[in-house]
Amino acid sequence: MTPHHTHSSRARMLVFIAWRNLWRNRFRTGLSIAAFGMALSMMIAYGVFIAGEMKQMRGYATDLVLGHIQLHREGYVKDQDIYAQIPQGLVKEVRDHLPPGVALAPRTYGFAMGSLGSLSTGVMLRGISPEEEARVTKIGSRLKSGGFDLSKPVPPRPGAEAVSPRIPVHPVLIGHQLARTLHAQVGDTITLVSQSLDGSIGRGLYRVNGVLSPIEITLDRMGVVMTIETFQELMIMEDGVHELVFSTPDSSHTGPLVRQIQQQANQWAGTHALSPFGGQVTVRSWETINPTLAQTVNMAGTITVIVSLLFFSIAGIGLLNTLLMSVFERKKEFGILLALGMGRGWLVAMVFLESIFLTLGAALPGTALGVYWGYLLETYGWDFSAYLPDGLDFMGIVFEPVLYGHMTLFSVLTPLTALFAITLLATLVPAWRLIRFQPVEVMGG
Amino acid sequence: MNTPDGKTPWKSLVRISWRSLWRNRRRTYITLSGISLGFALTVFFIGIGDGGHNNMIRNAVNMGDGHLTIQREGYLDAPMNHLFIAQGKQLEQQLLQAGIPGRVAPRIQLQVLASTSGNSIGAALTGIQPETDPKTNQLKKGLVTGEWLTTGDPQGVVVGARMAEKLKVKTGSKIVLMAGSEGGGTNTHLVRVRGVFRTGIEEYDSFVMISSLDMAQAFLVDEGANPAGRPVTRVAVFLDDESAMGLWKARLKALSLPAGLVVLDWQEMMPQLVSFVAFDNIGNYISLVFIFTMVAFGILNTIMMGVLERTREFGLLRALGMSPWALFTLVVMETFWLSLTALAIGWVLGGGLHAYFALWGLDMSAMYPGGMATSGTVMDSVIYSELSGARVGMLTGLILGITLLSGLYPAYRALRVTPLQALQT
Amino acid sequence: MNTQTTEASAQSFSQPMAGTKPLVVMEGVTKRYRQGDVMVEALRGVNLTLAEGEFSALVGPSGSGKTTLLNMIGALDKPTSGRVSLNGTDLTQLSGAKLSAFRLHQVGFVFQAYNLVPVLTALENVAFVMVLQGRPPKEIEQRAMHYLERVELADLAHRRPKAMSGGQQQRVAVARALAAEPRLVLADEPTANLDTHTAFDLLDLMHELNREEKMTFLFSTHDQRVLERASRVISLHDGKIEEG
Ligand SMILES: Nc1ncnc2c1ncn2[C@@H]1O[C@H](COP(=O)(O)OP(=O)(O)O)[C@@H](O)[C@H]1O
Ligand SMILES: [Mg+2]
């Protein structure tokens, strides 16, 4: 009889006994499997939900608001100094040397008083280049009413206050909350009054071509979006813009691109003198611009791990109970096995096998159910619009009230790993007790 | 002979059930530790959650327009500058006479465009009584340069630090304020910066401009108000005791306020905050459901094992003349003791956690250095746990309910034990 | 078979002693159990009369139907056919709840083992059935203590079963059965788990109580040695009472 032979046949017997033992107390085993399967599926669904939320947040932040990279003059970042402009030459230089796949959109910003009828409020102006903006952000697809077309004003709304046909009217999009504040609808004509860059008071009439869905808190509350040309006309701004927004296909590694654009800008600034005010050109990734948001997004993984471990520890206490009970009520049996010459190590291995079988029994249906829930979350989402009709604003960005899950290997594997870790940990206690059983105690039952 | 069935021996049932629970001590201890740990965790989650929400609400109330706000009907819908309260002084007097425990703050709130030679931005101009308004408390200590406002100053403003940077102004600088008027025109007034404050809250430092009532009233006068009546756009009421809000809302409504005025509580003023709290609670309730599911499984397991291994004993009790329902009651009672004990330990643990975090707070500044801005308010970066009596009742009731529910099946199994089962060897 | 029996030897085993009133009457009682696919006939037409005040032993090898018979009399189970009446009540006609009430007031049980509620003390165990009967607490306390004294266990009144020997536990069970004032005490192999000495002690105690309290006892055993204690021996074989 070779030792190898003994070992393998013993091991086979062990597996067999462990499996049988599990089914001796069907209720207990069934309950444990149900509890763990349930816990696992909930955790997987939770992980999918969190990952989805974070993905959505990140997507919102980059696709709708910040882009992946932004270029400003330092004066604009610090003081929103309207004179801190990016000269047209620099815009052209950067645009002409964009790496493949990277898109760019220029923007301008200003403030004005907006009024409609007897209602008036302060508004934030944003000048965009519609074709370029469409390549960088998805603002154009986020309209509550009206359309993104800013080439010509829509006809006036029937019943709206008449406007003299001789006065030019320019098309704009306005934020949803602003529309509410001004009681404005698509087809209305709003008046904007501003202090132009030359110090004079500018005034103009603007047709509401569309109302934007909530995207960004300031844009939603006070945003008026127009073409850069319209903006320049109202503000009497010669050329230049305030912001360049970039999108890149490789959004997770913005570092090299940031450095490349920065270098390009510095080079240009070295040969063409920048205007005296406004400071240096600065290029930043969206993570640098909104660090809290970036941090929250990056926390998703950590949150899933912590919550999984925490919740499974509670479930683990239940497992500990089951395993301890089954070990203690089988003291006599273990005594017999010991007497028959089965080493303690084998007994411990048997207990571990039992808990692994138990966990596997829970893991298979639990994962299946969890993945199914995850699939539902990913496909249909979870609609909170009853609670948050206007979306959820967090750190200045407004999120849609329908949250979609995002299934990743991580969101499935993390709870699964946590489950096995907790199970093995919980098995240590009965295993340790088993090693400490005195033969007398064992035989005496 | 027709004697009635055995009386339900309550005392014996209590005795047997309590002692049975402690027969398998190890099992009971483990179960107890699981339940009470889960419960303590729940108390912690709910305490921090509620603490965070209350913190957001208090911040919103304190920085906003109080627990109760009196303003013109329709102003909430469309804040038009001509919807002012003409007789502000009179209304303030009326409110002061009502004996409200707290503060009454008349205010003028206007959306203006602030321009200097350097820049032009939107601003929220708030006219207050500089000496008494609660805003003074919050902002005066953040004054970086210059002086706080004085009553009657017809030109002075204090501005947030970020706004000062954007407008490139410092103490003594001039700013032109422009507000829309009823006809669609504009009114402008020149103001001077008396001071600059910094709160660390972006919304405040970038958008808020404070003036005396006298300055802001100039815009209302443009709209046709009589300065003698001390016109305001609203009166904010801050209560010392936030729980008295409902009571005072009713009392203020009962006052014969001038026609066209409404009394609104903060929930009506900030419905999006109410929705946010409701939304955020969903997350807390989900973890509640999760933990309680685990608790239910733990209890079911322990009680069920206890029932299964005592089939003979139950058979004996039945053979001796105990009714099936008395057995059912016995098991339910056992479940009840288990959950009561778990609750006691759970409340000691959870209460301890709560007390610790109520006292020292949970520091989240690593994640939200300047607090978390959402739903028109901010949550501080240090959150103090809070638990209301209603919450304590809810959590206790839930655990008891869930425990009793999970005890039903084992109890039913006990009910079905026949006397004959006592005899099977 | 019953050479040592004294009084019973002259009697037919299935007939009560002359001159006493019948307490238990069984007529043509059969009991069939299904064991998997086969039907087991545990009792095949038992006729038996027990008189009040008797101290009878039911003997037979394991599997002969002793427990089944006792269960029929004790209203724990119903016969497949035939009639069982106790003190004039036809048990086969009673419903579940009535049976349970009947047991509570008319029958005392002493089982082979695990007689006592483990979490109750000796005194509480004796009191238990009286509590179920709804007797006044004062009376319960007095009777419980009295019967514990009767079985000479007054000093162990506050012990739990775990801390008592097998014989002591059986005596507590006897005290409990008697304290509830039943018409009849049924004891299913009460001595099976006891050593000879203790077994005899227990039987002596039961016999003594039978004489002094005029309590009717029916106990089963497969132990021939204890038969000398019985005043009447009923022999059971393959579900039938054997004459002679
Ligand atoms: N609940 C039952 N189900 C099936 N068979 C039973 C049951 N109870 C008893 N029996 C069978 O009936 C016969 C008589 O059993 P029992 O009355 O327990 O005998 P004894 O008590 O004399 O040992 C046996 O063959 C036994 O296997
Ligand atoms: Mg038997």
Q: Bridge-partner residues for B410, per DSSP?
A: none
If asked whether residues B157 and B97 sit together in one domain, one would say yes
Angle in degrees, CA B289, B290, B293, rounded to 5: 80
Can you tell me which atom of ligand 1 is nearest the CA of C70?
A: 17
Classify residue B97: in a domain, yes or no. yes
pLDDT number for residue B4: 43
CA of B5 to the centre of ligand 1 (A): 28
Least Cα distance to A128 among A112, A147, A151 occurs for: A151
Residue C77 and residue B320: Cβ atoms within 8 Å?
no
If asked whether residues A135 and A233 sit together in one domain, one would say yes
Cβ neighbors of C142 (< 8 A, separation 6 or more) are none
The conformational region for residue A8 under phi > 0 = left, psi -120 to 50 = alpha, else beta, is alpha
Band of residue A6 on the pLDDT scale cut at 50, 70, 90: low
Residues 11-70 of B with CB under 8 A from C: 11-12, 15-16, 19-20, 23
pLDDT number for residue A61: 82
> What is chain C's mean pLDDT, rounded?
85
Strands A392-394 and A119-128: unpaired
Classify residue B3: in a domain, yes or no. no
Residue A118 and residue B112: Cβ atoms within 8 Å?
no
If asked whether residues A50 and A80 sit together in one domain, one would say no
pLDDT number for residue A441: 56
Least Cα distance to B196 among B151, B149, B161, B157 occurs for: B161
pLDDT 10s digit of each residue in chain B, 425 long?
333 455 678 888 999 999 998 988 888 888 888 888 888 988 998 999 999 999 999 988 988 889 999 999 988 877 777 889 999 999 999 999 988 999 999 999 988 889 888 788 889 999 999 998 988 888 888 899 999 999 888 999 999 998 998 898 999 999 999 887 776 678 899 999 999 999 877 778 888 999 999 999 999 998 888 999 999 999 999 999 988 999 999 999 998 888 889 999 999 988 888 888 888 888 788 888 888 888 888 888 888 888 988 888 999 998 888 888 899 999 999 999 999 999 999 999 999 999 999 999 998 887 777 777 777 788 888 999 999 999 999 999 998 998 889 999 999 999 998 888 766 65
Domain boundary among B245, B269, B293: B269
CA of C62 to the centre of ligand 2 (A): 7
If asked whether residues A159 and A277 sit together in one domain, one would say yes
Residue C100 and residue B312: Cβ atoms within 8 Å?
no
Q: How many CA atoms lie within 13 A of B351 on its CB side?
A: 9
Per-residue pLDDT for A1 more than 60? no
If asked whether residues A259 and A352 sit together in one domain, one would say no
If asked whether residues B135 and B265 sit together in one domain, one would say yes
When scoring B35, B80, B167, B205 by the number of chain A Cβ atoms within 10 A, the one with the most, hence best to mutate, is B80
pTM (predicted TM-score): 0.80
Strands A201-212 and A143-146: antiparallel
Nearest residue CA, atom 7 of ligand 1? C33
Classify residue B332: in a domain, yes or no. yes
Band of residue A4 on the pLDDT scale cut at 50, 70, 90: low
CB of A189 less than 8 A from some CB of B: no
CB of B81 less than 8 A from some CB of A: yes
Compute the CA torsion angle C203, C206, C210, C213 (nearest 10 deg). Answer: 160
If asked whether residues B211 and B139 sit together in one domain, one would say yes
Which of A117, A315, A388 is closest, CB to CB, to B275?
A388
Per-residue pLDDT for C47 more than 70? yes
Per-residue pLDDT for A25 more than 90? no
Domain boundary among A289, A309, A325: A289
Least Cα distance to A161 among A119, A118, A117 occurs for: A117
If asked whether residues B236 and B352 sit together in one domain, one would say no
Residue C118 and residue B2: Cβ atoms within 8 Å?
no
Dist CA A399 CA A394 (whole Å): 8
Can you tell me which atom of ligand 1 is nearest the CA of C61?
A: 22
Dist CA C142 CA C179 (whole Å): 10
- Give how many domains chain A has, as a whole number: 2
DSSP per residue over chain C, as a string?
Answer: --TT-SSGGGS-TTSPPTTS-EEEEEEEEEEEEEETTEEEEEEEEEEEEEETT-EEEEE--TTSSHHHHHHHHTTSS--SEEEEEETTEEGGG--HHHHHHHHHHHEEEE-SS--S-TTS-HHHHHHHHHHHHT--HHHHHHHHHHHHHHTT-GGGTT--GGGS-HHHHHHHHHHHHHHT--SEEEEESTTTTS-HHHHHHHHHHHHHHHHHH--EEEEEES-GGGGGG-SEEEEEETTEEPP-
**Average pLDDT for C92-111:** 86
- Pair B38, B402: CB distance under 8 Å: no
Can you give the residue range of the structural domain that contains A427?
3-62+298-444
**Average pLDDT for A429-438:** 78
Band of residue A189 on the pLDDT scale cut at 50, 70, 90: very high
If asked whether residues B43 and B110 sit together in one domain, one would say no
If asked whether residues B175 and B323 sit together in one domain, one would say no
If asked whether residues A311 and A278 sit together in one domain, one would say no
If asked whether residues A434 and A399 sit together in one domain, one would say yes
Domains of chain C: 3-117+182-241 (3.40.50.300)
Amino acid occupying residue C85: S
If asked whether residues A48 and A34 sit together in one domain, one would say yes
Classify residue B88: in a domain, yes or no. yes
pLDDT number for residue C3: 40
No. of helices (H) and no. of strands (E), chain B: 13, 14
pLDDT tens digits, A196-224:
888 888 889 999 999 998 888 888 888 99
H/E element holding B313?
helix B311-319
Backbone angles phi and psi of C38, in degrees to 5: -95, 150
- Give how many domains chain B has, as a whole number: 2
pLDDT number for residue A330: 80
If asked whether residues B56 and B69 sit together in one domain, one would say no
- Pair B386, B47: CB distance under 8 Å: yes
**List of long-range contacts for B43-46, beta carbons under 8 Å, 24+ apart:** B43/B346, B43/B347, B43/B349, B43/B350, B43/B351, B43/B353, B43/B354, B43/B387, B43/B395, B44/B350, B44/B353, B44/B354, B44/B357, B44/B385, B45/B284, B45/B287, B45/B288, B46/B284, B46/B288, B46/B387, B46/B391, B46/B395
Can you give the residue range of the structural domain that contains B278?
10-60+274-424
If asked whether residues B93 and B168 sit together in one domain, one would say yes
- Smallest Cα distance from B144 to chain A, Å: 17
- Smallest Cα distance from C5 to chain B, Å: 29
Band of residue A125 on the pLDDT scale cut at 50, 70, 90: very high
CA of C43 to the centre of ligand 1 (A): 9
If asked whether residues B245 and B298 sit together in one domain, one would say no
Domain boundary among B251, B269, B287: B269
Tokens 């005043």 locate to: C231
If asked whether residues A14 and A125 sit together in one domain, one would say no
If asked whether residues B322 and B250 sit together in one domain, one would say no
**And the tokens for B1?**
């002979």
DSSP per residue over A144-213, as a string?
Answer: EEE-S--SSPPPPPTTSPP--TTS-EEEEEEEHHHHHHHT--TT-EEEEEEE-TTSSEEEEEEEEEEEEP
pLDDT number for residue C22: 87
The conformational region for residue B167 under phi > 0 = left, psi -120 to 50 = alpha, else beta, is alpha
ipTM of the complex: 0.83
If asked whether residues A172 and A214 sit together in one domain, one would say yes
If asked whether residues A196 and A329 sit together in one domain, one would say no
pLDDT tens digits, A346-391:
888 888 888 888 889 999 999 999 999 999 999 998 888 887 777 7
Residue B369 and residue A292: Cβ atoms within 8 Å?
yes
Strands B68-72 and B261-265: antiparallel
Band of residue C244 on the pLDDT scale cut at 50, 70, 90: very low
If asked whether residues B101 and B239 sit together in one domain, one would say yes
CA of B307 to the centre of ligand 1 (A): 25
Cβ neighbours around B341 below 10 Å, total = 18
Band of residue C144 on the pLDDT scale cut at 50, 70, 90: very high
Classify residue B5: in a domain, yes or no. no
If asked whether residues B211 and B289 sit together in one domain, one would say no
Cβ neighbours around C63 below 10 Å, total = 13
Strands A397-399 and B174-180: unpaired
If asked whether residues A76 and A207 sit together in one domain, one would say yes
Domain boundary among B242, B269, B296: B269
DSSP per residue over A225-252, as a string?
Answer: EEEHHHHHHHHT--S-BSEEEEE-S-TT
If asked whether residues A313 and A411 sit together in one domain, one would say yes
Dist CA A238 CA A406 (whole Å): 46
pLDDT number for residue C73: 92
Dist CA B348 CA B298 (whole Å): 20
Domain boundary among A247, A272, A289: A289
